[in-house]
Amino acid sequence: MKIFAVYGSTKSGKTTTVVEIVKELRLRGYTVSTIKDVHAQDVARDTVGKDTWRHWKAGAEVVGLRGPNETLIMIKHPVTLNELIGHFGSDYLVLEGFKGVALPKILCAVDEEHIEKELQSLVFCISGVASAHLFAYKNLPVVNALVNAPALVDLVESESLIL
């Protein structure tokens, strides 16, 4: 499995970039999984009052929800990223957020000031909102996922870490 992260501030284009990367990887025949890091204290779990919500509120440590088209497992305590990664087995695992992980990364930024503030040594490409008006930043390529997802995924294929 190959893995990389997409990080940046709110409204910098992270989710759009991830979506375009996932679509292009799928077009190339890869299986793809994603994990999003959220900082909200109470992540939306289920519809209030429904059965699995009631199981959760009653104190179940793990609640599973299986439907005809999807399965959801909710765990009542935080797990490490490595524990979570262990549950995935696709060709690519795309992390959204996870600014602090030691993995190859795409930085999504709003502008050059944000790039300068958020740039890390493991960044192999810049994308997001800033990519609408920048084409390169220092020695890094800047690729607009909405305009040129194939070029972005070429970089992903060559720069992702193999687990």
Dump pLDDT digits (tens) for 1-10.
999 999 999 9
Cβ-contact 11, 129 below 8 angstroms: yes
Mean pLDDT of 71-97: 90
Mean pLDDT of 130-152: 97
Mean pLDDT of 109-127: 98
Nearest-angstrom CA–CA distance, 132 and 17: 12
Asked if pLDDT for residue 58 goes beyond 90, the answer is no
Mean pLDDT of 134-147: 96
How do 92-96 and 2-8 pair as beta strands?
Answer: parallel
Asked if pLDDT for residue 13 goes beyond 90, the answer is yes
Predicted structure pTM score: 0.89
pLDDT tier at 63 (50, 70, 90 boundaries)? confident
Mean pLDDT of 1-20: 97
Query: How does the average pLDDT of the chain come out, rounded?
Result: 92
Domains, the chain, with CATH or none = 2-38+90-162 (3.40.50.300)
